[in-house]
Amino acid sequence: MCAPNKHGKTGREGMSFLPALFFSATVFFFFSIIISCAVFPVAGADDEKLSIILIDGDEVYVRSGNYYTFLQDYQIYVKGANSEGNRVWIELRRDDIFLEDAIVGEGDTFAYSNNSTEILNLTVDTIYGGANGVLVKFSPVYQYLNPKLPMPQTPATSPASSSDNNSSIPTVFENQAEGFDLPLFLLGLGSVLLVTGFFAGRYRKK
C-alpha cells in the first residue's frame, strides 16, 4: 500500500480552492446587482426632492425704493409702505420681468416657487420706520438653485443695495444629497469574505 503523496495532497488543496474563489466571485457579482437595484433607484428618486442651497438663513436689508439682487439675477424690491409703517409692498423680478409681489408685515413669509420648486423664501423680521421711508430686514433668507438657469459663478449684489446689506453670501454651495453608503458596502464585503472563508475551509477538509 502506497503512502499518500504530500505534494499531491497540497496540489489538490490548491486546486480545490479555485472553485471556492469562483463561487465567492459569483456571490459578489449577484450581491452587487441586488445592491444596485435596491439602492440607486431610491437615491435617484430622492435627488428630485433635494436642492442646492445658495443662501442659507442670511440677513438682507432693503430700503424702500431700492432693491437687493440675489444669485441668478433675482431682485427683491421694496416698493413702499403703508402710512403706519408696519406693512410693506415687496416685488420680485428677474431681468426686469415681474414674477410675484405681496404686501407683508413683520413675521410674514414671502416664498417664490418655479414649477413646484422653491427658489426664494424670505421672512420679514423687522420694519424700521424713518423720515426717508422704511428699512426692511429680511431674516432668515433662503435661496435655492433654479436648475433651469445657469449656475452662478460669483455672488452678485446690486450697487443700489450694497450699502444696506450686511449679510454674507456663501461662495461654496451646499449639496444636501447623500452619496455612497459605506456601512452597507462594508456589510456586503464582510459577507463575501465570510462565504469565501467558509467554502475554502470546506474544500480543504475534502
CATH number, domain with residue 112: 2.60.98.40
Number of domains in the chain: 2
pTM here is 0.54
1 within a domain of the structure (yes/no) = no
pLDDT value for 170? 40
pLDDT at position 144 = 95
What is the C-alpha separation between 44 and 88, in angstroms, rounded?
42
Q: Are residues 96 and 154 in the same domain?
A: yes
- The residue count of the chain comes to 206
- What's the rounded Cα separation, in Å, for the pair 201 and 180? 33
Of 103, 105, 113, the residue nearest 77 (C-alpha): 103
Alpha-carbon separation of residue 39 from 22, 96, 181 (angstroms) = 26, 44, 9
Alpha helical stretches, state H, the chain: 6-47, 159-162, 182-205
pLDDT tens track, the chain, 206 positions: 555 555 555 555 555 555 666 666 666 666 666 666 555 544 444 444 567 899 999 999 999 999 999 999 999 999 999 988 899 999 999 999 999 999 999 999 999 998 889 999 999 999 998 888 899 999 999 999 999 999 887 554 444 444 444 443 343 344 444 445 566 666 666 666 666 666 666 656 55
* Residue 133, C-beta contacts closer than 8 angstroms, at least 6 positions apart: 63, 64, 65, 80, 81
- Pair 159, 140 in one domain: yes
Dig out the grid coordinates for 137 from the structure.
430686514
75 and 67 Cβ atoms separated by less than 8 Å: yes
In 64-116, beta strands by DSSP E: 67-69, 74-81, 87-94, 97-105, 109-114
In terms of residue numbers, what domain contains 192?
6-48+179-205
Query: In this structure, are 37 and 113 located in the same domain?
Result: no
- What are 99's three cell numbers? 414674477
As a whole number of angstroms, the distance between CA 91 and CA 60 comes to 15
Q: Do 67 and 157 sit in the same domain of this protein?
A: yes
CB 161 within 8 A of CB 66: yes
Phi, psi of 86 (to 5 degrees): -110, -5
Q: How far apart are the first and last CA of the chain?
A: 21
Strand ranges of the sheet holding 97-105, from the earlier edge strand across to the other edge = 67-69, 74-81, 87-94, 97-105
What is the structure's pLDDT at 161?
Answer: 44
**Residues 34, 77: one domain?**
no
Amino acid identity, position 26: T
